[in-house]
Structure 1
Amino acid sequence: MAPKITVIGTGYLGATHAAAMAELGFEVLGLDVVPEKIEMLAAGRVPMYEPGLEELLARHVAGLPGSTGRLRFTMDWAEVAEFGDVHFVCVNTPQKHNEYACDMSYVDAAVESLAPLLTRPALVVGKSTVPVGSAVRLARRLAELAPAGGDVELVWNPEFLREGFAVQDTLHPDRIVVGVQEPGGAAEKLLREVYATPVAEGSPLVVTDFPTAELVKTAANSFLATKISFINAMAEVCEAAGGDVVKLAEAIGHDERIGSKFLRAGIGFGGGCLPKDIRAFMARAGELGADQALTFLREVDSINMRRRGHMVELAREAVGGSFLGKRVAVLGATFKPDSDDVRDSPALNVAGQIHLQGGQVTVYDPKGMDNARQVFPTLAYAASAAAAVQGADVVLHLTEWREFRELDPAELAGSVSVPLILDGRNALDAERWRAAGWTYRAMGRPRA
């Protein structure tokens, strides 16, 4: 008989994982402590935008027309403990307030709530991004609290989701990492059963110890952040030397040792993962006495944050040295396309800085408007890109949505006060915009 699965925490990670496990054929029970989330999910809706997720939920949430009925949601910890054979912990691990370190309170609370109710054999699977060393501590706590004692095991199975591709990444992962205490033991065998379908399709399953599994996620995010900040540092040098960072990236990207992905210079990375994960990694390295190993990440973080201020400076220069009385259109509010996530969004940060310096800022984003309004209610918001650029003295392209790449620059030229666009993502067709009469500028590129 297939194991029954529970998912603790139904935010971005948990909701996606629960729906994907149901898609793989398992009976799934999701738990959250927020009633509004449970109500939405039980109706087949999600509190965030993620392509394909609502369709996946609709196929499996019990009570919906035509669904398999394999997926339910609850707020009852006792029901979860009784139902599940495998319990996935998918709660948030945000950055601590005024610190670099990771806030483990949600993970700790999940273990403290679940463990005393585990009266029969069970596997607890950590998916949250945590500081190295957490799994050993949590395994010890599980053994102390669970009535079933040694029959309750912990494994660490980090997530590698990309917002905008989360459903694909869960159903068809590029790798599955499983940190166990006993290689080849019962816990590993049970997780191999859970992931049998993607493994059969070719997804590699890497079995490690606890510390390595915890480090894989933070190491991967740190490498990605470093690559992004490297090309942005090269953009700064290109600007100083008169070079073209786009051509530079193209040339070095042909080197198989480097590769071309994530070599597009711009205003940097944001979101709820990369910034807080590299900071938590630095903090944990310091606690372990290995802080010198990760001092380079401080510069990675510094370069990334510097890009936002640089875009503000470029925009100020473009409008004559002062934002006072100037209309600024900002295309993009989310930290990346195909998402409604505005957490630590470079685009929204730039818009906010310009507004605070006296600019009349109007923002448009295909999916992030509601969340943006909650963060910056004093900004103006438009219902379309065309409406946002009306009368603008400068247009800033700050999130690389496909909708923005497909805009007709000739059509927009008649709406602006000055046909001037700053491409903060180096994603627009420069020649197309210039041919339509626009002055096109981008970070790290020569001015035409």
Structure 2
Amino acid sequence: MALKITVIGTGYLGATHAAAMAELGFEVLGLDVVPEKIDKLRRGEVPMYEPGLEELLRRHVAGIEGSTGRLRFTMDWAELGEFGDVHFVCVNTPQRHGEYACDMSYVDSAIASLAPHLKGPALVVGKSTVPVGSADRLAAYLAEHAPAGADAELAWNPEFLREGFAVQDTLRPDRIVVGVRSERSEKLLREVYATPVEEGSPFVVTDFPTAELVKTSANSFLATKISFINAMAELCEATGGDVAKLAEAIGYDDRIGRKFLRAGIGFGGGCLPKDIRAFMARAGELGADQALTFLREIDSINMRQRGRMVELTRQELGGGPFLGKRVAVLGATFKPDSDDVRDSPALNVAGQIHLQGGQVTVYDPKGMDNARSLFPTLGYADSALEAVRGAHVVLHLTEWREFRELDPAELGEVAAERVVLDGRNALDAEAWRRAGWRFRAMGRPGA
């Protein structure tokens, strides 16, 4: 008999995972405790912008004309427990307020709510990013509180989704990692992921601690690489070097690679910053804090980039206060192809300049509503052209394709002054210069 799958939590991770499981042919039941989310999903609407996700959802949500009907949503834990063979936990693990540590309350609540309804053999699979050691604790809780006892097993299967590529990363993952304690758990997860494995996705079987460490280790490595090139950008500015050429040269070394070597205003979002801080906090709890002290400097370099962009903007405006200066900010999301503004470097820079008296106008292709909610006092425009109108300086802070394809000459006609600062080292410097713009990019003082 075909496996039935449930997904607990229907945010960014859960909604994507539920739709992808339906696409792979499974009957899927998603659960959330927020009625508005459930209502939206039942209509085939996604609660966030993610390319391809709404189309995938509508292909499978029950009740939508032409759908397979394989995907339904509920708020009933009893229905969930009775329905599913494999239960994926996809709830959020944010940073604790005022601390570096991870807030496990959503995961703990999900397991506590599910356990009483596991009356027969079931596999609960954690996908949330959690501190190492959490799976051991949660497995013991399940065995003690589920009516099925030891037949209610736990596995850990970290997610590696990239915002903007989440559908692709779920259906065709570059690796599948499962932390298991029994052959039965491994067999069930091999059945769940049979299609991507047949298509070439590596399937890595490990223990609980290793599975928990994979995601935070990967994010810490990426954060290190990004902050390394940003540190080199500081040195390039001090010496007259060009960080873009430096990155190109070292990127040809296949031990290093070219990805994540574009200097700029640093990383943000809901994962990298909070994950490396939680990693440091957990290492301290385990008495291994010295192993990760380097991550404090990685975090510091990253946050420093935002202040450096503010100061670079001040320099280009003559070095005085921002009062009376109009600043156009292109980009609000932390990365392109997303509407996510959590810990967005772009909005942080915009907010700092606004607090120092600048008249800031922001435009972003997808993140305007979320940006307005977070920073209601900033100005917003309906297009890049309107954002630039009357501006004394233009800041490019999120590398959307739309911004790379802008016509510098057209923008120059409406700007008060033709000064552009590329905070992502992604624009065509020569094209902007030919249109009469003074062009600056971080780590490229001669550009």
TM-score (norm 1): 0.99
Alignment of 1:11-410 (within 5 A): 11-182=11-182, 185-321=183-319, 322-410=321-409
Distance 1:340 1:150 in 2: 42
What is the one-letter code of the residue matched to 1:289?
G
1:6 match: secondary structure: strand
Q: By how many angstroms is 1:47 displaced?
A: 1.0
Please state whether the residue corresponding to 1:330 is helix, strand or coil: strand
* Whole-angstrom CA distance in 1 between matches of 2:400 and 2:379: 20
Alpha-carbon shift at residue 369 of structure 1 (Å): 0.2
Which amino acid is the alignment partner of residue 328 of structure 1? V
Separation in 1, partners of 2:36, 2:190: 34
For structure 1, the residue ranges without an aligned partner over 5 or more in a row are none
Give the aligned residue type for 1:236: E
Match of 2:439 in 1: 440
Q: Which amino acid aligns with 1:422?
A: L
Counterparts of 1:257 and 1:413 in 2: how far apart (Å)?
42
Q: Distance in 1 between matches of 2:317 and 2:369?
A: 29
CA distance in structure 1 between the aligned counterparts of 2:375 and 2:312, rounded to whole angstroms: 22
User: CA shift at 1:181, angstroms?
Assistant: 1.4
SS of the aligned residue for 2:205 comes to: strand
Structure 2 distance, partners of 1:373, 1:313, is 24
User: Over residues 49-77 of structure 1, what are the superposed CA-to-partner deviations in whole Å (9 max), with x where a residue is unaligned?
Assistant: 00000000010000001000000000000
- 2-structure distance, mates of 1:181, 1:119: 20
Q: 2:420 aligns to what SS in structure 1? A: strand
Aligned partners of 2:48 and 2:196: how far apart in 1?
A: 26
Q: How far apart in 1 are the matches of 2:98 and 2:49?
A: 29
The structural deviation recorded for 1:33 is 0.1
- Write the deviation string for residues 391-433 of structure 1: whole angstroms up to 9, x where unpaired: 0000000000000000000111000000000000000000010
Query: TM-score normalized by structure 2?
Result: 0.99
SS of the aligned residue for 1:339 comes to coil
Letter paired with 1:111: I
- The one-letter code of the counterpart of 2:272 is L
Q: What is the CA–CA distance in structure 1 between the aligned matches of 2:15 and 2:338, rounded to whole Å?
A: 15
Take 1:355 and 1:316, find their aligned partners in 2: how far apart are those partners? 12
Give 1:150 shift. 1.1
Q: Report the Cα distance in structure 2 between the residues aligned to 1:28 and 1:211, rounded to whole angstroms.
A: 28
1:77-136 per-position Cα deviation (integer Å, ceiling 9, x unaligned): 000000000000000000000000000000000000000110011000000000000000
Q: Distance in 2 between matches of 1:303 and 1:409?
A: 31
Equivalent residue letter for 2:364: D
CA RMSD of aligned residues (A): 0.5
Alignment partners' CA distance in 2, 1:375 and 1:110: 28
Q: Which amino acid aligns with 2:419?
A: L
2:136 alignment partner, SS class? helix
After TM superposition, the runs of 4+ consecutive aligned structure 1 residues lying more than 3 A away are none
1:313-357 Cα distance to aligned partner (Å, 9 max, x none): 000111122211000000000000000000000000000000000
Deviation at 1:447, TM superposition (A): 2.4
Partner AA of 2:80 in structure 1: V
Equivalent-residue separation in structure 1 for 2:374 and 2:9 (angstroms):
24
Q: Secondary structure at the match of 2:137?
A: helix
State the identity %. 84
CA distance in 2, matches of 1:403, 1:392: 19
Residue 446 of structure 1 and its aligned partner are, at CA, apart by 2.6
Deviations, residues 260-300 of structure 1 (Å, cap 9, x unaligned): 00000000000000000000000000000100000000000
Give the aligned residue type for 2:298.
V
The one-letter amino acid paired with 2:196 is P
Q: Deviations over 1:370-409 (max 9, x none)?
A: 0000010000000000000000000000000000000000
The amino acid across from 2:416 in the alignment is S
> Helix, strand or coil: the match of 2:293?
helix
